[in-house]
């Protein structure tokens, strides 16, 4: 089942056609890699099993950021061409991937990137990036760049609200509402397993790919107040938030966690690996 769990504030829940905030991530280039969670190891095992790719196949990554999903695949021995919109993020990715001679990082939007003539890839993938690519371009261009029988794989890391999620997130919604950044739908959102499957439906509707498989992953991490605020500072909505609003929000998070014996919160994450086979 495909799951896209909304983050609990309006500005981080953009539609795929709204690309206004995608450049904000470059401002978090120095902290993104450490603040954002690693994707589950099982996800990479399933990716290889579902697509059948093996090293040294040539992969194309769209929106690599600082290399969060690039490094695990580079360590496996894949050749990777990674395209990244942000100058600072691309520079950070190159720094982290310097030991991998078969990995190249190109600073460009995917829409504007001109691949070498005749270039084809065995797998095109995007980790927490595909929604930021122009929907009028991305599927046709992906299909054109894939070898016959090649695959497109996408996944996100989303805020999940399973049964028993940390009550701080309900408490803090009142603060988001006060500053005009409240959750648009009913609260709380449905648990991950009850979410709809928009990505699989999008794959099918585009006319270029057939869904080859999907899989849901849910995990939890513990954060101190400062660790959690560092995480929030990598989200587009918080980066773009008015400073006074952000200061108020972060102050309330610190105050609430300071009242807990261990000063920590639990945030659940979900990711859905959605794989399409080129028609």
- Do residues 82 and 106 touch, judged by C-beta distance below 8 A? yes
Q: Give the residue among 182, 160, 165 at the shortest CA–CA distance from 249.
A: 182
pLDDT for residue 15: 39
Q: What are the sequence ranges of the domains in the chain?
A: 10-162+191-221+269-278
pLDDT for residue 13: 37
Cα Rg for the chain, rounded, in angstroms?
Answer: 19
- Altogether, the residues listed in the chain come to a count of 279
- The whole-angstrom separation of Cα 228 and Cα 238 is 12
Tell if the pTM clears 0.75, that is, is over it.
yes
Q: Give the residue among 3, 7, 76, 1 at the shortest CA–CA distance from 36.
A: 7
- Do residues 63 and 84 touch, judged by C-beta distance below 8 A? yes
Query: What angle in degrees, to the nearest 10, is found between the helix axes of 243-258 and 225-232?
Result: 150
pLDDT for residue 186: 85
- The whole-angstrom separation of Cα 279 and Cα 261 is 55
pLDDT in tens, the chain (279 residues): 333 333 333 333 333 335 667 888 998 999 999 999 999 999 999 999 999 999 999 999 999 999 999 999 999 999 999 999 999 999 999 999 999 999 999 999 999 999 999 899 999 999 999 999 999 999 999 999 998 899 999 999 999 999 999 999 999 999 999 999 988 888 899 999 998 777 899 999 999 999 999 999 999 999 999 999 999 999 999 999 999 999 999 999 999 999 999 999 999 999 999 999 999
pLDDT for residue 193: 93
pLDDT for residue 7: 35
* Cβ-proximal residues to 36 (8 Å cutoff; 6+ apart), any chain: 68, 128, 157, 231, 234
Task: List beta partners, residue 48.
Answer: none
Helix (H) or strand (E) holding 257: helix 243-258
DSSP 93-116: HHHHTTT-TTEEEEES-TTT--PP
Domain boundaries 10-162+191-221+269-278, corresponding CATH code: 3.40.50.150
- 186 secondary structure, DSSP code: S
Q: Is cis: bond before 221, omega within 30 of 0? A: no
Strands (E), the chain: 58-62, 79-84, 103-107, 121-127, 146-155, 158-160, 209-224, 264-278
């Amino acid at each position: 089942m495909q799951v896209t769990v909304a983050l609990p504030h309006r500005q981080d829940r953009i539609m795929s056609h709204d690309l206004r905030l995608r450049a904000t991530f470059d401002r978090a280039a120095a902290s993104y890699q450490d603040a954002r969670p690693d994707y589950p190891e099982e996800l990479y095992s399933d990716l290889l099993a579902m697509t059948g790719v093996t090293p040294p196949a040539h992969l194309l990554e769209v929106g690599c950021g600082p290399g969060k999903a690039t490094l695990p695949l580079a360590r496996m021995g894949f050749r990777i061409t990674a395209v990244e919109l942000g100058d600072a993020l691309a520079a950070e990715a190159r720094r982290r991937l310097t030991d991998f001679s078969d990995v190249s990082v190109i600073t460009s939007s995917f829409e504007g990137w001109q691949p070498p003539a005749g270039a084809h890839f065995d797998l095109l993938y995007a980790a927490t990036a595909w929604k930021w690519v122009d929907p009028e371009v991305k599927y046709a261009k992906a299909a054109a760049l894939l070898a016959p029988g090649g695959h497109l794989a996408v996944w996100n890391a989303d805020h999940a609200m399973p049964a028993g999620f940390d009550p701080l997130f309900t408490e803090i919604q009142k603060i988001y509402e006060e500053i005009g950044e409240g959750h648009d739908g009913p609260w709380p959102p449905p648990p991950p397993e009850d979410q709809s499957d928009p990505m699989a439906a999008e794959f099918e509707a585009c006319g270029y790919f057939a869904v080859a498989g999907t899989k849901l992953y849910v995990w939890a991490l513990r954060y101190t107040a400062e660790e959690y605020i560092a995480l929030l500072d990598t989200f587009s909505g918080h980066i773009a938030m008015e400073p006074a609003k952000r200061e108020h929000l972060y102050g309330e998070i610190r105050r609430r966690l300071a009242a807990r014996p261990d000063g920590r919160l639990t945030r659940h994450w979900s990711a859905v690996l959605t794989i399409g086979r080129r028609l």
